Amino acid sequence: MNTIINKDKKIAIIGCGYWGTIITKTLIELGLKNIFIYDSSAKNLHALKKKYNTVKIIKNYSKILFDKDLTNLFFATPPSMNYSLVKQAIINNKIIFLEKPGVNKSSDLNKLIKLNKKFNSRVMFGYVYCFSDHIKYIKKIISKNVLGKLLYINFQRQNLGPIRNDVDVTYDLTSHDLSIILFLFGKLPKKISHIKYPILKKNLCDISNLHMKLDNTFIDINNNWINPTKIRKINIVGSKKMLSFDEMDLVNPIRIYNKYAKYPKIHEFNKKFFEAKALIYLGKNFSPKIKSSQSLLNEIKYFLKLKKKDRPITDFLFSLKILKFLETI
């Protein structure tokens, strides 16, 4: 997909909070000249305008919908608000970028899918890790069998906030980790057990520990939005090597450890000892130099270059699989 982005394209950002501001910044960096912003909160709308004064404020959502030249819409609004906003955008044939997890019910997503069969709008979901050069590298390493058999994967995504009040920590954070699993393996694991704690508010969990199995690989996802420090880690334990991805390490985010643990085969261990002890192999580690650019920049470029016939990687089906999984845990 090497098309050049039309910098004069008219674009609107709906939702000018934390993530809408970052999307706006990225669009400006990409050189887009006609950026319009809309938010139901006048305070947030004006705060974004103050930050980037070249953007233009639109005070009425229907103005966006009825402007035929305003083709591409970015939704960075809370999932509970998205169904009705996006429904109208589909009917008006907009090209839609909808931040993860999209909506908060798979039944609503199914209704949007059905509606879109009639209107055939382009819809892509904002699962930013599918556009990360580091995650793409990990996918390559796994497909080349560098790590050997995958025995265990652990995802840790923790921080203090943002704390949502319309969805729990699984819709907000676990959805990211599930998108990485879906991107790496083309399928989602089966749940073994799930422990979640509602701490700040009844019926909305703040901490989630999800235990799963994908074929022969055990997978845990630990999410927490009331953690004092920011942790973004993936550890992969293979039968030949181990890999760690620490997003917070800006110098060497990926390390490949030439390490493994295994029990010797029965004929290999010293018969004098009754019990077979696990052997631990410690070899050299290395940190690959990966040419990477910002994942959000990659993602937005991909979206802006989508053609009518293209099916985005993070399409309706991708998002539906994640939402349905979240509803079963």
| Interface ranges with ligand NAD (CB under 6 A) | 14-20, 39-41, 44, 76-79, 81, 85, 99-100, 126, 128, 162, 172
For residues 223 and 233, is the Cβ–Cβ distance under 8 A?
A: no
Taking CB atoms, the residue at the shortest distance from ligand NAD is 17
Strand partners, 36: 12, 56
- For 264, phi and psi rounded to 5 degrees? -70, 155
Other Cβ atoms closer than 10 A to 227:
17
Q: How far is the CB of 35 from ligand NAD (least distance, A)?
A: 16
- For 106, phi and psi rounded to 5 degrees? -65, -25
E strand or H helix at 74: strand 70-75
Paired tokens of 318:
């991708």
Cα 119 to chain center, whole Å?
Answer: 27
For residues 300 and 30, is the Cβ–Cβ distance under 8 A?
A: yes
The radius of gyration of the chain from alpha carbons, rounded to an integer in Å, stands at: 22
Q: How far is the CB of 69 from ligand NAD (least distance, A)?
A: 21
- Closer to ligand NAD by Cβ: residue 166 or 310: 166
**One-letter amino acid of 154:** N
- Closer to ligand NAD by Cβ: residue 9 or 46: 46
- Closer to ligand NAD by Cβ: residue 82 or 116: 82
For residues 58 and 326, is the Cβ–Cβ distance under 8 A?
A: no
Q: How far is the CB of 130 from ligand NAD (least distance, A)?
A: 10
Q: How far is the CB of 304 from ligand NAD (least distance, A)?
A: 17
Q: How far is the CB of 208 from ligand NAD (least distance, A)?
A: 15
- Closer to ligand NAD by Cβ: residue 40 or 110: 40
Q: How far is the CB of 78 from ligand NAD (least distance, A)?
A: 5
- Closer to ligand NAD by Cβ: residue 161 or 198: 161
- Closer to ligand NAD by Cβ: residue 79 or 312: 79
Distance (Å) of CA 204 to CA 59, 123, 208, 241, 312? 32, 29, 11, 38, 32
Please state the length of the chain: 329
